[in-house]
Amino acid sequence: MTAMDVRERDPYRIHGGHGHALGGPAPIRIVVGYGFWIFLLSDIVMFSAFFAAYAVLAGKTAGGPSGAELFNLRNVAIETAALLLSSFTCGLAGLAVTARRSSWFYVAMTVTFVLGASFILLELREFVHMVASGAGPTRSAFLSAFFTLVGCHGLHVTAGLLWLLTMMAQIFAKGFRDDILRRFMCFSLFWHALDIIWVALFTVVYLLGASR
Amino acid sequence: MSNADDRHAQRRDTHDLERYDIDTAPGDEYLGDTDVGSGLRGYVIGLGLATLLTIASFWLPGTDLVWAPGVPVALVVLAIAQMGVHLVFFLHITTGPDNTNNALALAFGVLIVVLVIGGSIWIMANLDKNLMPMNAIMNMNR
Amino acid sequence: MLGKLSWDVIPFDQPLPMIASAVVALTILGVLAWVFLAGHFPYLWREWITSVDHKRIGVMYTLLALLMLLRGFSDAVMMRSQQALAFQAPGYLPPDHFNQVFSAHGTIMIFFGAMPFVIGLMNLVVPLQLGVRDVAFPTLNSVSLWLTATGALLVNISLVIGEFARTGWLPYPPLSETAYSPGVGVDYYLWAVQIAGVGTLLTGINFVTTILKMRAPGMSYLRMSMFCWTSLAASLLIVAAFPILTATLAMLTLDRYFGFHFFTNEAGGNMLMFVNLIWAWGHPEVYILVLPAFGIFSEVISTFSSKPLFGYRSMVAATLFICIVSFMVWLHHFFTMGAGADVNAAFGIATSIIAVGTGVKIYNWMFTMYGGRIRFATPMLWSLGFMVTFVIGGMTGVLLAVPPADFLLHNSLFLVAHFHNVIIGGVLFGAFAGYTYWFPKAFGFRLHEGWGKLAFWLTLIGFYATFVPLYAVGLLGMTRRMQHFDVPAWYPWVLVAGAGMIITTAGVVAQIIQLVVSIRQRAALRDSTGDPWDGRSLEWATPSPPPVFNFAALPHVEGEEPYWSIKQRAREQNRLRDEPEYEPIEMPRNSPTGFICAFFATVMGFALIWHIWWMVALGALGAFATFVVFAWRDKPEYVISAAEVARIDRANRSARREALATYTGPRP
Residue C116: pLDDT band (50, 70, 90) is very high
When pLDDT is averaged across residues C364-384 and rounded to a whole number, the result is: 92
pLDDT at B137: 63
Question: Per the CB < 8 Å rule, is A144 touching C262?
Answer: yes
- Higher pLDDT, residue A8 or A55: A55
CB C523: neighbour CB atoms within 10 A?
7
Name the band, by pLDDT with cuts 50, 70 and 90, for residue A67. Answer: confident
Residues 6+ apart with CB under 8 A from B140: none
Q: What are phi and psi of C638, to 5 degrees?
A: -130, 165
**Can you give the C-alpha Rg of chain C in angstroms?**
25
For residue B32, the 8-state DSSP code is: T
Q: What is the C-alpha separation between B42 and A189, in angstroms, rounded?
A: 16
Confidence at A1, pLDDT banded by 50, 70, 90: very low
Q: Please indicate whether residue C283 is annotated as part of the active site.
A: yes
Across residues A187-205, what is the average pLDDT?
92
Contact B124 C240 (CB under 8 A): no
Strand partners, C639: C586
Q: What residues does C640 pair with on adjacent strands?
A: C585
Q: C6: closest CA among C188, C156, C178, C162? A: C162
Q: What is the dihedral of CA C65, C70, C74, C79, to 10 degrees?
A: 40
| pLDDT surpasses 80 at C420 | yes
- Does residue C231 carry a catalytic annotation? no
φ and ψ of A207, to 5 deg: -70, -50
- CB-CB contact of C343 with C331 (8 Å): yes
User: What pLDDT, on the 0 to 100 scale, is given for residue A11?
Assistant: 35
Confidence of residue C571 (pLDDT cuts 50, 70, 90): confident
Residue C665 pLDDT level (bands cut at 50, 70, 90):
low
Q: Are C550 and C127 in contact (CB under 8 A)?
A: yes
Whether the CB-CB separation of A19 and B15 falls below 8 Å is answered with no
Q: Which long-range contacts (CB under 8 A, 24 or more apart) does A24-29 make?
A: A24/C215, A24/C216, A24/C217, A24/C554, A25/C132, A25/C213, A25/C214, A25/C215, A25/C216, A25/C554, A26/B23, A26/C213, A26/C214, A28/A178, A28/A182, A29/A178, A29/A181, A29/A182, A29/A185, A29/B25, A29/B28
> Chain B contact for A209, CB < 8 A?
no
- Residue B24: pLDDT above 80? no
Task: Find the CATH number of the domain harbouring A129.
Answer: 1.20.120.80
Which chains are adjacent to chain B, needing at least 3 Cβ pairs under 8 Å? A, C
Other C-beta atoms closer than 10 Å to the C-beta of C249 total: 21
Q: What integer pLDDT is reported at residue A179 of this predicted model?
A: 85
Chain A, residues 53-92, CB within 8 A of chain B, namely 53, 55-56, 73, 77, 80-81, 84-85, 87-88, 91-92
pLDDT tens, residue by residue, C236-292:
999 999 999 999 999 999 999 999 999 988 888 888 899 999 999 999 999 999 999
Chain A residues within 8 A of C628 when measuring between CB atoms: 166
Confidence (pLDDT) at C655 = 84
**Where are the extended beta strands (E) located within C538-668?**
585-588, 637-640
Distances (CA, A) of A167 to A154, C242, C558: 19, 28, 43
Q: Supply the pLDDT for residue B18.
A: 39
pLDDT band at residue B29 under the 50/70/90 scheme:
low
ipTM for the whole complex: 0.89
**What is the per-residue pLDDT for B97?**
66
What share of chain A in percent tops pLDDT 90? Answer: 44
Point out which residues pair with C585 in neighbouring strands: C640
In sequence order, what E strands does C190-346 have?
none
- pLDDT for position A6: 37
Is C134 in the active site? yes
Residue C420 appears among annotated catalytic residues:
yes
Q: Identify the band that residue A20 occupies on the pLDDT scale cut at 50, 70 and 90.
A: very low
Q: How confident is the model at residue C36 (pLDDT cuts 50, 70, 90)?
A: confident
The pLDDT tens digits for A130-173 are 999 888 898 899 999 999 999 999 999 999 999 999 889 888 88
- Say what the pLDDT of residue C11 is: 73
pLDDT in tens, A176-185: 888 888 889 8
Q: Are C354 and C329 a contacting pair, CB within 8 Å?
A: yes
Q: Which amino acid is at A134?
A: G
Residue C583 has pLDDT above 90, yes or no: no
* C-alpha–C-alpha distance, residues C275 and C170, integer Å: 9
* Range name among A106-120, B64-78, C113-127 with the lowest pLDDT average: B64-78
pLDDT at C179 over 90: no
Q: By mean pLDDT, which of C40-44, C383-387, C420-424 is the weakest?
A: C40-44
Give B58's contacts in chain A (Cβ within 8 Å). 73, 77, 80, 207
Tell me, yes or no, if C261 is annotated catalytic. Answer: no
Mean pLDDT of A72-82: 90
CB atoms C273 and A53 under 8 Å: yes
Task: Provide the percentage of residues in chain A whose pLDDT is more than 70.
Answer: 89
Say if the Cβ atoms of B54 and A84 lie within 8 Å. Answer: yes
Which pLDDT belongs to residue B141? 57
* Predicted local confidence at residue C237, as pLDDT: 94
Alpha-carbon gap, residue A167 to C631, rounded angstroms? 10
Write out the DSSP string of A39-76.
Answer: HHHHHHHHHHHHHHHHHHHTT--TTS--HHHH--HHHH
C280 chain-B contacts, CB cut-off 8 A: 116, 119-120
**pLDDT per residue as tens digits for the range C486-540:** 999 999 999 999 999 999 999 999 999 999 999 999 988 888 888 888 889 999 9
In a domain, A30, yes or no: no
Choose, from C56, C133, C283, C333, the residue flagged as catalytic.
Answer: C283
Quick one: pLDDT at residue C398? 87
> What does the pLDDT read at residue B19?
36
Subunit contact B13:C558, Cβ cutoff 8 A: no
Which uninterrupted H or E stretch holds A97? Answer: helix A73-98
Does residue A1 form part of some domain?
no
CB-closest option in C208, C273, C577 to B124: C273
Nearest to A138 among C216, C241, C259 (CB): C259
Within-domain flag for A125 = yes
Q: What sign does the dihedral C208-C212-C216-C222 (CA atoms) show? A: positive
* C332 among known catalytic residues: no
Task: Tell whether the model's pLDDT for residue C125 goes beyond 90.
Answer: yes
Predicted pLDDT at C23? 82
Q: Which residues of A41-56 are buried (b: 16+ CB within 10 A; e: fewer)?
A: bbbbbbbbbbbbbbbb
pLDDT top residue among C572 and B78: B78
* Out of A39-43, A55-59, B24-28, least confident range: B24-28
Q: Is A111 on the interface with B (CB under 8 A)?
A: no
For residue C547, whether the previous peptide bond is cis, meaning omega lies within 30 degrees of 0, is: no
C462 CA to centre of own chain: 21
Provide the residue type at B15 as one letter: H
pLDDT over threshold 50, residue C145: yes
* Alpha carbon distance C188, C9 (integer Å): 13
Q: Which chain B residues are closer than 8 Å to A81 by Cβ?
A: 54
The pLDDT value given to residue B139? 64
Among B28, B82, B121, the residue with its CB nearest the CB of A14 is B28
Residue A130 belongs to domain spanning: 43-210
Write down all domains in chain C, each with its CATH number in brackets.
1-68+94-288 (1.20.210.10)
The CA distance from C378 to the nearest CA of chain B, in Å, is 36
Q: At what angle do helices C271-304 and C341-369 cross, to 10 degrees?
A: 10
Biggest alpha carbon distance in chain C?
Answer: 79
Question: Is residue A51 within 8 Å of A148, Cβ to Cβ?
Answer: no
Structural domain count of chain A? 1
CB pair distance less than 8 Å for A87 and B124: no
User: For the stretch C430-449, what's the b/e string if a residue is b when 16 or more beta carbons lie within 10 angstroms of its beta carbon?
Assistant: bbbbbbbbbbbbbbbbbbbb
A106 burial via Cβ count (<10 Å: 0-12, 13-18, 19+)? middle
Answer whether B32 sits within 8 Å of A9, measured CB to CB.
yes
pLDDT of residue C106 exceeding 90, the answer is yes
pLDDT above 80 (res B31): no
The pLDDT, as a whole number, for residue C667 is: 55
Contact C273 B120 (CB under 8 A): yes
Q: A interface mutation test: which of B86, B110, B128 has the most A CBs within 10 A? A: B86
Give contacts of B76 with chain A, Cβ < 8 Å. Answer: 203
Maximum mean pLDDT: which of B35-49, C6-20, C285-299: C285-299
Residue B4 burial (10 A CB sphere; 0-12, 13-18, 19+): exposed
Q: What percent of chain C has pLDDT over 90?
A: 54
8 Å CB contact of C339 and B130: yes
Output the pLDDT for position C216.
87
